[in-house]
Amino acid sequence: MSSQASKDHQEGQRPPLLVDDHTVATVRESKILVLLRGLPGSGKSTLAKDIDQKYKDSSRIISADKYEIKPVIRSSSGGDYSKLDDELRSCFERREVSLVILDDTHHDRERLDELFDMANKYQFTVVVLEPKTPWRLDCAQLKDRNHWKLSLEELKNLRPTLEKDLLPLYFGWFLAKRDEDSLRKTSHEFLEQLQNLKTFKKRLQPYGYEDKHKLDLLKYFAKTPNILHCTAKFCDYGKALGSEEYGHLEAVKKGYSKGYTLHITALFATPRTVGAQVELTEDQLLLWPADAEKEVMPKDTFPRGSRAHITLGTANEVQDVQTGIDLLEFIKLQQSGREGENVGEFTGPVSGKISYYDNGMWMLNLSRKIEVKSIFSGYYGKPGVSIPLRGGKKGLLHQCQIL
């Protein structure tokens, strides 16, 4: 292997947040919790130091070794992690720390669930990384490499908990904090302009209102995702059809933890949801499942990526997954030749042509695309409370309140 080929191979073994300039810039504008996962001696601490060195002005390493937490098969209940968790919460609450690196084996699912809940509470996107060292699962070598002096038998007991991929509830693009805040503000401006539109005030019935003075769209769409994101693949922690195959795709492996710029072409509102239409690039479409549109509308045919969206808010008792279905309803009408009734132009920070499609469906085609930075990762926490969709859809749809 030539020196250049060797260098390229080594770079390919390192996560994008260490080697890709666009990703580095995106991470610096995000709130990220990196969970390093693997057997003792596999190279986690070295990887943690590399990441910390890259982001030393805004990162913090928290190590289980510092608190003498021995990596053994155990329940996460008890007081072992109390001091570590105090330090973790302190990092989450400090604005100057935007990248937290947690160095532990992370083999215990109960413990992981606690961390996922904590990260979600403080609106940190989780990135799970494992060392790519050749000996990472070789217990014979790890016996001599781990400073805990774990025996071969102890390492073999730990290995099964770390051999299987840790699949999320769903994969997706999670917005950088700065762009997320900006998009939330844009969403509010869109809704305020919409509710002040004369033609909108005359068509309130689909929203369950007759009096134009009583409808406040910001309150109507009060439910918003904790972290704005564009879902790519629903996995249900590996239980959903095709999720393991998706996780093993080369594009997914290469794209994981990588920074991407998403392009928003339109904002839309229906009596159920308010969202942003996302136009995926060729690189992003490699991460988009071929059956994503068929999952929710099996009888219709759409161009790949048509369902790509960011949920900005939902009405009471409406699941976030409904946003993508509403977007496909717009596209279905457009495919049939119905472009909607042009009712005017929005001006100011949110500008473009506003159209009405009947049944309370409004779409603003933006005069200029909105670009938002994002990190491709997974949501590993608990799903939201299941609420049946209108029409009584079952299965995948009624499980995905947070999508």
Q: What is the pLDDT of residues 213-256, one digit of tens each?
A: 679 999 999 999 999 999 999 999 999 999 999 999 999 999 99
Q: What 3-state class would DSSP assign to 263?
A: strand
Helix (H) or strand (E) holding 17: helix 16-19
Tell me what the mean pLDDT of segment 387-397 comes to. Answer: 34
Mean pLDDT of the chain: 90
What is the pLDDT, as a whole number, of residue 209? 85
Looking at the DSSP bridge assignments, the partners of residue 370 are: 264
| Tens digit of each residue's pLDDT (9 = 90 or more) over 169-205 | 999 999 999 999 999 999 999 999 999 999 999 999 9
Q: Which two tokens stand for residue 43?
A: 């190279």
Residues of the chain with CATH 3.90.1740.10: 170-234+255-399
Domain with CATH 3.40.50.300 in the chain: 3-163
pLDDT in tens, 328-384: 999 999 999 998 999 999 998 899 999 999 899 999 999 999 999 999 999 999 886
d(CA 272, CA 172) in angstroms, rounded, equals 22
- Mark whether 9 is an active-site residue: no
Average pLDDT over residues 30-46: 97
For residue 3, give every residue at least 6 positions away whose Cβ sits within 8 Å of its Cβ, in sequence order, or none.
none
Give the pair of three-digit tokens for residue 360.
């309370």
**HSE of 17 in the Cβ direction (CA atoms, 13 Å)?**
29
The verdict on whether 229 is a catalytic residue reads: yes
Query: Region 128-147: what's the mean pLDDT?
Result: 95
CA–CA separation, 171 vs 242, rounded Å?
A: 13
Residue-by-residue DSSP string for 69-109: ----S--S-SSTTHHHHHHHHHHHH-TT--EEEEES----H
pTM comes to 0.91
What single-letter DSSP state applies at residue 58?
Answer: T
The two structure tokens encoding residue 19: 């080697």
pLDDT-based confidence at residue 73 (cuts at 50, 70, 90): low
Residue 120 has pLDDT above 90, yes or no: yes
Judged by average pLDDT, the poorest of 71-80, 209-218, 220-229, 309-318 is: 71-80
For residue 225, the Cα-to-chain-centroid distance in whole angstroms is: 10
SS3 54: helix
First CA to last CA across the chain, in angstroms?
44
Catalytic residue among 188, 213, 229, 248: 229
- Of the pLDDT bands very low, low, confident and very high (cuts 50, 70, 90), residue 76 is very low
- CATH code: domain 170-234+255-399 is 3.90.1740.10
Residue 361 to residue 346: CA distance in whole angstroms: 16
The SS3 of residue 162 is helix
The per-residue pLDDT for 384 is 63
For the chain, counts of helices (H) and of strands (E): 17, 12
Our CA angle for 397, 402, 403, nearest 5°, is 65
The band of 70, judged by pLDDT with boundaries at 50, 70 and 90, is: confident
The predicted structure's pLDDT at residue 212: 64
Catalytic residue among 9, 22, 188, 309: 309
In contact, 155 and 61? CB cutoff 8 Å: no
Given the candidates 1.10.10.10, 1.10.540.10, 3.40.50.300, 3.40.50.1980, the CATH classification of the domain at 3-163 is 3.40.50.300
Distance CA 31, CA 89 (A): 13
| Residue 403: per-residue pLDDT | 56
Residue 402 has pLDDT above 70, yes or no: no
Residue 401 has pLDDT above 70, yes or no: no
> What pLDDT does 397 receive?
36
The predicted structure's pLDDT at residue 74: 57
- Select from 199, 198, 331, 205 the least CA-distant residue to 268: 331
Backbone angles phi, psi at 26, to 5 degrees: -70, -45
Confidence of residue 146 (pLDDT cuts 50, 70, 90): very high
Q: Residue 388 has what pLDDT?
A: 32
**What local confidence, expressed as pLDDT, does residue 255 receive?**
98
Q: Which residue has the higher pLDDT, 254 or 209?
A: 254
Q: What CA–CA distance (Å, rounded) separates 66 from 103?
A: 10
